[in-house]
């Protein structure tokens, strides 16, 4: 580290991810939605770093010249040797500074950097892995930039936060080069975990027994795994997005995460509870239009007694639990028929797959319904004109009402009959809205055939498989995804491998009940916080401690129970779900990121926090918004809460707890009185638990066992190893 004393109170933050201004997957949502709370804390001291995509960057970034003279001189120096970069403002809420590097401008150095990576860290790199090549070039450019920047800017501490292995290669490079940068690494899902689960192994029950090097090599991802593992071990602070991923990372990456940083969303609270109910009714009416075109003509059913269930996400048949969803739908269909239920369930599966085009049957169904609606509108207009003319020519008391049959002309009757006859179809309603590229081998369609859910009239459960993204320009299901979710009654996500799970989180924020599992990060999060989540419309299926058969039966029970609810009960449950949204608001969860950065700074600059005497703030005048450490005998108290709903102290799991900052107040995100004083006619019962207990290995994880917590000696040894940049020591530390 530099001998100069850096200002740790007003630190600079660089956040690095592959999906900055470059939408690829869920990390884009994490980065983009978190920006407002980060900007509120750091302001212009915050800058995002990512790769330059010429397809998206010109539309998302407004180019500017940097005002920081050190940053400007660093970029000028790099540009002089051929590095292409775009600096400006990302045109999203919060408008943060963003720095995008063109990896293609430095591909000539790829072989040189590959050799250096082997000599420096022993990480092999095959020649034909394009994604790894991009990662190496990007990692070296970022390490180059940060190294030059901190060599010029000597007065303020710099925190660099990296997301996922594609951005994390810079961490071991910075550590080996002794660059005075404090690093945080967050993994959103381990590489090996994704591959193992996709291979149909009993993942969670055998997690501690996998030979990770062998498994990674067998799947051809050993070099990627090495980058991910070195990033985790060389970072000052290592975090994951959920307890379930922390458990996974501890065994696959061989370092226990320092804490959990849950993913949040920007929650927009309505002025009155009925507003989002109105949005649900409006969106549901649009789904009704699709259902009429898809099913009417084959047969009809009462739309007022119809429920819409859905599942959505990447096409990962087993990991996303689609196999379990379809099996449970078949059992639900049997139970509804056996109970003589009048309820119809239309289950949507929204998962992009390889297709050729829309099916003719699906297009025709929507077209004939539109023709019928247009014809009825024309007849209505003509009928209204005739009625008006008849009434206006009447002579007061002597007026008589015409016979109804006289209003419909013969032409109207013929036209109406033609449109009605055009509706009639003899085949069963189609299962899928598209022509599949490989219909015979598609796992979803094959399972639907196996359970014989063919949309027959006798079935109470109908299935619609939409193998494409939703958007409002779609000629069949013309709704954006958010609008579609608002119109449904229940989201079903029985995932086997789901490090976080944005789909059920989005349902919660939009006031839609959902079913998830205790193997998803979101499910564990809600189970840890709420006493009876099922009463709040957040159903959590156990995929951890019971057989597949029992899990399917539990999922079926939940869907059957929901199907039997009255409309009033469903409205009440939507109210209960919507009030959970503050639990997922970045205004609460963003403070976990702030705590992670504080922990990183404490490890990198302990003297700035503890002073010579070892007591926090004893020899320094800095005020970090923290109270003096309480004695160990004093338990955590609810009075330390920042708001009355859910506080980071209740959620957080950083081992900063053991370092004596359990009273960390964090950054105020500008909560208004409306945020803090919302009233509901029914109580929300939160779980009361020790915050320190969650840092114990196995707590809130599939293993379920509790091991010895970290001692002060362990922590001092770990801090000593970090302070001296001795990365080898990490492999021998059993406390992480």
Q: What is the mean pLDDT of residues 613-623?
A: 44
Among 358-362, 458-462, 671-675, top mean pLDDT goes to 458-462
Percent of the chain with pLDDT over 70: 80
Residue 1: predicted pLDDT? 45
Residues 437, 439, 443, 445, CA torsion sign: positive
| Residue in this structure with the two tokens 């319904």, named with its chain if needed | 369
Of 188-192, 249-253, 352-356, 682-686, which gets the smallest average pLDDT? 682-686
* Alpha carbon distance 693, 657 (integer Å): 10
**pLDDT tens string 486-513:** 999 999 999 999 999 999 999 999 999 9
pTM of the full structure: 0.80
Average pLDDT, the chain: 83
Residue 412: predicted pLDDT? 77
* Alpha carbon distance 733, 596 (integer Å): 20
DSSP 111: H
Residues 353-362: b if buried by 16+ CB within 10 A, e if exposed:
bebeebbebb
Q: What is the mean pLDDT of residues 408-437?
A: 83
Percent of the chain with pLDDT over 90: 59
Of 100-114, 396-410, 422-436, 587-601, which gets the smallest average pLDDT? 396-410
- Written as six digits, the tokens of 222 are 């050993």
User: Residue 472 above 60 pLDDT?
Assistant: yes
Contact 511, 578 (CB under 8 A): yes
pLDDT-derived band at 367, boundaries 50, 70, 90: confident
Who has greater pLDDT, 68 or 669? 68
User: Residue 434 above 70 pLDDT?
Assistant: yes
- Give the chain's end-to-end CA distance (angstroms, integer): 23
Residue 707: predicted pLDDT? 37
Backbone angles phi, psi at 684, to 5 degrees: -105, 115
Q: What is the mean pLDDT of residues 78-98?
A: 95
- Dmax over Cα atoms in the chain, in whole Å? 106
* Alpha carbon distance 265, 590 (integer Å): 10
Residue 728: predicted pLDDT? 40
Residue 267: predicted pLDDT? 87
Residue 379: predicted pLDDT? 80
User: Residue 459 above 50 pLDDT?
Assistant: yes
Instruction: Classify burial at 726, counting beta carbons within 10 Å of its beta carbon; exposed 0-12, middle 13-18, buried 19 or more.
Output: exposed
User: Residue 698 above 70 pLDDT?
Assistant: no
Residue 201: predicted pLDDT? 81
Who has greater pLDDT, 670 or 435? 435
**pLDDT tens string 548-573:** 999 999 999 999 999 999 999 999 99
* Alpha carbon distance 99, 66 (integer Å): 10
Contact 443, 453 (CB under 8 A): no
Q: What is the mean pLDDT of residues 308-313?
A: 96
**pLDDT tens string 703-716:** 333 334 445 555 56
Helices first, then strands: H and E counts in the chain: 27, 17
pLDDT-derived band at 118, boundaries 50, 70, 90: very high
Contact 9, 159 (CB under 8 A): no
Residue 660: predicted pLDDT? 38
- Written as six digits, the tokens of 264 are 């949040």
Q: What is the mean pLDDT of residues 423-452?
A: 92
Torsion over CA of 137, 138, 143 and 144, rounded to 10 degrees? 60
* Alpha carbon distance 460, 476 (integer Å): 23
pLDDT-derived band at 531, boundaries 50, 70, 90: confident
Angle, helices 322-338/548-563, rounded to nearest 10 degrees? 50
* Alpha carbon distance 310, 488 (integer Å): 7
Who has greater pLDDT, 377 or 400? 377
Residue 395: predicted pLDDT? 67
Who has greater pLDDT, 5 or 66? 66
> How many residues does this entry show for the chain?
736
pLDDT-derived band at 637, boundaries 50, 70, 90: very low
User: Residue 638 above 50 pLDDT?
Assistant: no
User: Residue 210 above 80 pLDDT?
Assistant: yes
- Written as six digits, the tokens of 41 are 């804390």
């Amino acid at each position: 580290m530099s001998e100069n004393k850096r200002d740790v109170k007003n630190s600079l933050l660089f956040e690095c991810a592959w999906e900055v201004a470059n939408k690829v997957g869920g990390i884009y949502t994490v980065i983009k939605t978190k920006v407002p709370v980060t900007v509120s804390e750091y302001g212009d001291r915050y800058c995002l770093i990512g790769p330059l995509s010429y397809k998206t960057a010109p539309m998302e970034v407004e180019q500017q010249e940097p005002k920081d003279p050190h940053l400007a001189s660093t970029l000028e120096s790099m540009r002089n040797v051929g590095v292409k970069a775009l600096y400006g403002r990302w045109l999203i809420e919060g408008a943060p500074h963003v720095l995008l590097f063109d990896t293609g401008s430095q591909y000539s150095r790829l072989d040189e950097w590959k050799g250096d990576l082997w000599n420096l860290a022993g990480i092999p790199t095959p020649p034909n892995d394009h994604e790894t090549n991009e990662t190496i070039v990007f990692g070296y450019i970022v390490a180059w930039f940060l190294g030059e920047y901190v060599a010029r800017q000597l007065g303020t501490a710099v925190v660099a936060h990296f997301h996922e292995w594609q951005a994390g290669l810079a961490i071991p490079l910075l550590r080996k080069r002794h660059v005075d940068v404090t690093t945080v690494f967050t993994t959103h899902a381990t590489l090996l975990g994704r591959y193992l689960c996709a291979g149909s192994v009993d993942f969670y029950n055998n997690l501690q027994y996998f030979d990770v090097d062998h498994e990674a090599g067998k799947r051809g991802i050993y070099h990627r795994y090495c980058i991910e593992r070195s990033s985790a071990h060389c970072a000052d602070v290592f975090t994951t997005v959920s307890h379930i991923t922390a458990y996974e990372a501890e065994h696959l990456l061989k370092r226990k995460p320092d804490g959990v940083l849950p993913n949040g969303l920007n929650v927009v609270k309505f002025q009155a509870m009925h507003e989002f109910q109105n949005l649900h009714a409006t969106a549901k009416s649009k789904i009704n239009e699709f259902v009429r075109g898809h099913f009417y003509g084959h047969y009809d059913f009462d739309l007022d007694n119809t429920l819409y269930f859905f599942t959505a996400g990447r096409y990962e048949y087993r990991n996303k639990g689609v196999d379990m969803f379809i099996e449970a739908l078949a059992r639900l269909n049997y139970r509804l028929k056996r109970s003589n239920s009048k309820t119809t369930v239309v289950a949507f599966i929204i998962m992009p797959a390889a297709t050729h085009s829309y099916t003719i049957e699906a297009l025709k169904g929507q077209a004939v319904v539109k023709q019928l609606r247009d014809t009825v509108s024309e007849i209505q207009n003509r009928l209204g004109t005739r009625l008006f003319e008849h009434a206006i020519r009447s002579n007061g008391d002597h007026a008589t009402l015409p016979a109804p049959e006289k209003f419909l002309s013969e032409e109207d009757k013929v036209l109406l009959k033609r449109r009605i006859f055009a509706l009639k179809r003899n085949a069963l309603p189609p299962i899928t809205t598209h022509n599949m590229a490989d219909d015979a081998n598609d796992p979803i369609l094959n399972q639907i055939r196996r359970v014989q859910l063919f949309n027959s009239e006798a079935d109470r459960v109908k299935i619609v498989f939409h193998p494409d993204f939703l958007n409002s320009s779609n000629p069949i299901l013309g709704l954006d995804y958010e609008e579609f979710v608002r119109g449904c009654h229940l989201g079903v996500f029985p995932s086997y491998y789901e490090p976080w799970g944005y789909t059920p989180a989005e349902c919660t924020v939009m006031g839609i009940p959902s079913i998830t599992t205790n193997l998803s990060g979101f499910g564990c999060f809600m189970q840890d916080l709420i006493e009876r989540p099922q009463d709040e419309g957040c159903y959590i299926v156990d995929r951890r401690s019971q057989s597949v058969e029992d899990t399917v039966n539990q999922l079926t029970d939940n869907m059957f129970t929901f199907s039997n609810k009255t409309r009033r009960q469903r409205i009440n449950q939507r109210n209960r779900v919507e009030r959970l949204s503050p639990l997922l608001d970045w205004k609460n969860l963003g403070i976990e990121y702030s705590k992670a950065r504080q922990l990183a700074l404490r490890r990198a600059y302990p003297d700035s926090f503890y002073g010579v005497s070892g007591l926090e703030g004893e020899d320094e005048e800095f005020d970090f918004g923290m109270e003096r450490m309480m004695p160990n005998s004093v338990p955590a108290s609810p009075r330390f809460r920042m708001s009355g709903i859910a506080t980071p102290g209740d959620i957080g799991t950083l081992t900063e707890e053991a370092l004596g900052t359990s009273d960390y107040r964090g950054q105020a995100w500008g909560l208004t009185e409306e945020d803090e004083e919302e009233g509901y006619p029914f109580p929300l019962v939160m779980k009361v638990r020790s915050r320190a207990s969650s840092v114990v290995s196995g707590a809130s994880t599939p293993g379920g066992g509790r091991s010895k917590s970290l001692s002060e000696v362990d922590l001092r040894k770990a801090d000593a190893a970090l302070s001296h940049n001795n990365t080898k020591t990490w492999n021998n530390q059993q406390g992480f």
